[in-house]
Amino acid sequence: MSFDDEWATARTSATANVSTRLNQVPGDPGGGGSSVDLSVNQDKLGSIGSAAYELYDRLTADGNHARASTSDAATMLTVSGFLTGAAMRTVHDTWNSQLQTLLDACANISNHLDYSAASHAKEEEKIQAALAASRINEYFK
């Protein structure tokens, strides 16, 4: 038997038993509901927001620690004719960009959680006031 014949036989036998199987999570047999309700814990929101704010403060101080010296090194290397000066400037600029992105994310998390906590507290007050007003209205009937 020639190589071409063996190869054709091997390909035919390999493709004869090919099937597709999808891995997936089994479907929900019930109504799709869960016994857990969405809840917001003000203390947890506050602690996460506080941690994001602390991280922001530390990143601001520690992330900028080497900014001036890295910039000076890039300038001196470039002025002295070293090709690594441009690479050092790229590292400096990339670090600053990434640091700013991380600082923005921390600020966004902190601000959003502060807003969410305040918003939920206001909504809770409105609901309590509406319930209290509806009870008062019952007594007038």
What is residue 68's predicted lDDT score, i.e. its pLDDT?
A: 84
Q: Is the dihedral of CA 50, 52, 56, 62 positive or negative?
A: positive
What is residue 72's predicted lDDT score, i.e. its pLDDT?
A: 92
- Which residues fall within 8 angstroms of residue 101, CB to CB, at 6 or more apart? none
What is residue 129's predicted lDDT score, i.e. its pLDDT?
A: 79
Higher pLDDT, 15 or 108: 108
81 Rama sector, left if φ>0, alpha if ψ -120 to 50, beta otherwise: left
Quick one: DSSP state of residue 68? H
